[in-house]
């Protein structure tokens, strides 16, 4: 069964000149694909009416079943989306009564919250109710309504660019247009591997039958994710997916066969065991704690931690002996061990997790290069410290450190009081 096509147009000069990282394209593309669309284009356009018109015409010429735009629905001079869609589709820009009602409600709320005069604020805010004739207003999550408009073979959906607003408005809209387009959620096998690179995974896949699968491989921070999409009614593809999953489990260090990321796996293990974790971070600067507490309900198992960048902080907050740091250096196996044990003891956690390393670009010595990181995990089975040498720049070293620490905690949770198995990223 052929899948309906979709396209995404992201507007905003800040997305092209480095001021803002795009989040909406990733979110929209992922949800469209999961709902059964084939996403053919994701285009970034600046706040330039000529370029925006050109990109919009190009995408409409492809005749996708659904075109989603994000951004450009506000009240400032660079909010051009509604007017551009109106011009390209040949519809006049008119004040939509339902959109104006929505804007009036949200403006009153904003005026009350900010202590502003509603009557003075409304005229400027009412610009957001100007929609192409024939549009249907979509209730806002923030202030700006979205809208939907059909143009020839394509349903156009325009949403705000603020990520949380877009993500709140999109699911109901997507469900309606997926049903209209006849999109059926595809089945997807997702396998996650830790400790192998793309080359190793590709070699394994070369020997598998995958011609009926929509196969993709993504590598990042020591993990490789293999996704295989296929139509729900394709029995031959389903059999290939099952065979691929079995082959990967038999030959590779698979840590997830059900699509869960390392974050969810660690959270589920901690919660199911009634275990807690405390963190001692040096080179990661709080990134590990941020990652662990990003999931809702993380207060069930994260007790807290210490950001101990300076040597004195390691001693004063965690009890790491000053003479140990002086003798071994802050980036060393003994210090990582003392950090993990110190934070575990001081916070009364089941597990203490520590990271200390040289993220660069400076700070290296002949014996301790950039990328050298020690990760310690203290728990019921004792304390284990792993030595790593991660590739890349500062941000990459820190990202690999966080992921490797999560996997070290995962293996400790799986082992319980038993000896911790080897880390596949560490040469033996």
Q: Which DSSP state fits 307?
A: E
Return the closest-CA partner of residue 405 out of 306, 284, 313: 284
- Supply the CATH number for residue 124's domain: 3.40.980.10
* DSSP run (H or E) holding 289: helix 287-292
Q: Which of 181, 206, 238 is the last residue of a domain?
A: 181
Calpha distance 346→375 (Å, rounded)? 18
pLDDT value of position 166: 97
Cβ count within 10 A of residue 211: 9
**35/98 same-domain check:** yes
Q: Looking at 1-5, 148-152, 287-291, which range is the least confident one?
A: 1-5
Q: Which residue has the tokens 């005229």?
A: 123
Q: pLDDT digit string (tens) for 31-75?
A: 999 999 999 999 999 999 999 999 999 999 999 999 999 999 988
> Is residue 208 predicted with pLDDT exceeding 50?
yes
Angle at Cα 18 formed by Cα 393 and Cα 70, nearest 5°? 125
- Supply the CATH number for residue 202's domain: 3.30.70.260
**243/148 same-domain check:** no
pLDDT value of position 232: 83
Calpha distance 262→260 (Å, rounded)? 7
Q: Which of 224, 256, 288 is the last residue of a domain?
A: 256
**172/95 same-domain check:** yes
**9/86 same-domain check:** yes
Residue 422 lies in a domain: no
Q: Is pTM, for the whole model, over 0.85? A: yes
Written as one string, the DSSP assignment of 345-361 is HHHT-SEEEEEEE--SS
Cβ distance 271 to 295 under 8 Å?
Answer: no
Tally of domains in the chain? 3
- Supply the CATH number for residue 380's domain: 3.90.950.20
pLDDT value of position 427: 46
pLDDT value of position 423: 74
Residue 229 lies in a domain: yes
Q: Which residue has the tokens 């880390």?
A: 423
pLDDT value of position 256: 97
Q: pLDDT digit string (tens) for 224-263?
A: 999 999 988 899 999 999 999 999 999 999 999 999 999 9
Q: Which of 256, 278, 310 is the last residue of a domain?
A: 256
Size of the chain, expressed as the number of residues it contains? 428
- Please state the rounded mean pLDDT for residues 200-218: 91
**85/119 same-domain check:** yes
* Sheet of 254-256, strand order: 214-220, 223-230, 187-194, 254-256
pLDDT value of position 421: 66
Return the closest-CA partner of residue 156 out of 68, 288, 44: 68
> Is residue 133 predicted with pLDDT exceeding 60?
yes
pLDDT value of position 347: 98
**138/269 same-domain check:** no
Q: Looking at 200-204, 311-315, 347-351, which range is the least confident one?
A: 200-204
Q: pLDDT digit string (tens) for 394-418?
A: 999 999 999 999 999 999 999 986 6
Range list of β-strands (E), 275-381: 277-281, 302-307, 351-357, 372-379
Q: Looking at 198-202, 345-349, 371-375, which range is the least confident one?
A: 198-202
Residue 426 lies in a domain: no
Residue 152 lies in a domain: yes
Residue 165 lies in a domain: yes
Calpha distance 31→154 (Å, rounded)? 18
pLDDT value of position 331: 98
Residue 428 lies in a domain: no
**32/161 same-domain check:** yes
**295/398 same-domain check:** yes
Q: Which DSSP state fits 139?
A: -
Give 287's contacts (C-beta < 8 A, 6+ positions apart). Answer: 281, 398, 399, 401, 402
338 three-state secondary structure: helix
**141/209 same-domain check:** no
Residue 421 lies in a domain: no
How would residue 428 be classed by pLDDT, with cut points 50, 70 and 90?
A: very low
Residue 202 lies in a domain: yes
- Please state the rounded mean pLDDT for residues 324-342: 98
Could you tell me the residue range of the domain that residue 225 belongs to? Answer: 187-256
Return the closest-CA partner of residue 402 out of 375, 363, 370: 375
**234/131 same-domain check:** no
Q: pLDDT digit string (tens) for 291-329?
A: 999 999 999 999 999 999 999 999 999 999 999 999 999
**267/248 same-domain check:** no
**272/234 same-domain check:** no
pLDDT value of position 1: 56
| Cα distance from N-terminal residue to C-terminal residue, the chain | 49
**How far is the CA of 133 from the CAs of 95, 97, 148, 158, in angstroms?**
9, 11, 11, 14
């Amino acid at each position: 069964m052929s899948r309906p096509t979709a396209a995404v147009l992201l507007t905003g000069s800040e997305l092209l000149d480095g001021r803002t990282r795009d989040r909406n394209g990733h979110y929209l593309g992922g949800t469209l694909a999961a709902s059964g669309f084939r996403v053919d284009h994701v285009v970034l356009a600046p706040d330039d009416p000529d370029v925006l018109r050109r990109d919009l015409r190009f995408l409409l010429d492809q005749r996708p079943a659904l075109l989603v735009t994000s951004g450009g629905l506000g009240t400032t001079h660079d909010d051009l989306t509604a007017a551009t869609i109106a011009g390209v589709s040949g519809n006049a820009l008119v004040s939509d009564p339902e959109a104006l009602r929505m804007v009036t409600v949200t403006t009153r709320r904003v005026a009350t919250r900010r202590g502003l005069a509603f009557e003075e604020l409304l005229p400027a805010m009412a610009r957001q109710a100007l929609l192409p004739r024939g549009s249907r207003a979509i209730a806002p999550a923030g202030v700006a309504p979205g809208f939907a408009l059909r143009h020839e073979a394509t349903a156009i959906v325009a949403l705000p660019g603020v990520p949380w607003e877009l993500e709140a408005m999109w699911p109901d809209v997507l469900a309606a247009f997926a049903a209209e387009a006849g999109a059926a959620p595809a089945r997807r096998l997702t396998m996650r591997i830790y400790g192998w690179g793309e080359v190793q995974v590709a070699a394994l896949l070369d020997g598998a039958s995958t011609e009926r699968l929509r196969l993709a491989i993504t590598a990042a921070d020591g993990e490789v994710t293999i996704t295989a999409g296929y139509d729900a009614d394709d029995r031959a593809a389903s059999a290939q997916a099952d065979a691929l999953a079995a082959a990967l489990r038999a030959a590779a260090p698979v840590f997830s066969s059900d699509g869960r990321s390392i974050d969810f796996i660690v959270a589920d293990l901690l919660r199911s065991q009634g275990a807690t974790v405390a963190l001692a971070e040096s080179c990661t600067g709080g990134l590990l704690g941020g990652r662990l507490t990003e999931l809702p309900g993380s207060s069930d198992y994260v007790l807290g931690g210490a950001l101990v960048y300076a040597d004195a902080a390691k001693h004063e907050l965690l009890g790491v002996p000053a003479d140990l740091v002086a003798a071994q250096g802050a980036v060393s196996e003994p210090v990582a061990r003392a950090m993990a044990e110190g934070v575990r003891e001081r916070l009364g956690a089941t597990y203490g997790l520590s990271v200390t390393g040289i993220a660069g670009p400076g700070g290296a010595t002949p014996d301790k290069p950039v990328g050298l990181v020690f990760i310690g995990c203290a728990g019921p089975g004792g304390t284990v410290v792993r030595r790593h040498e991660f590739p890349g720049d500062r941000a990459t070293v820190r990202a690999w450190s966080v992921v490797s620490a999560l996997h070290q905690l995962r293996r400790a949770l799986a082992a319980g009081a038993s000896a911790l198995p080897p880390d596949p990223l560490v040469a033996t």
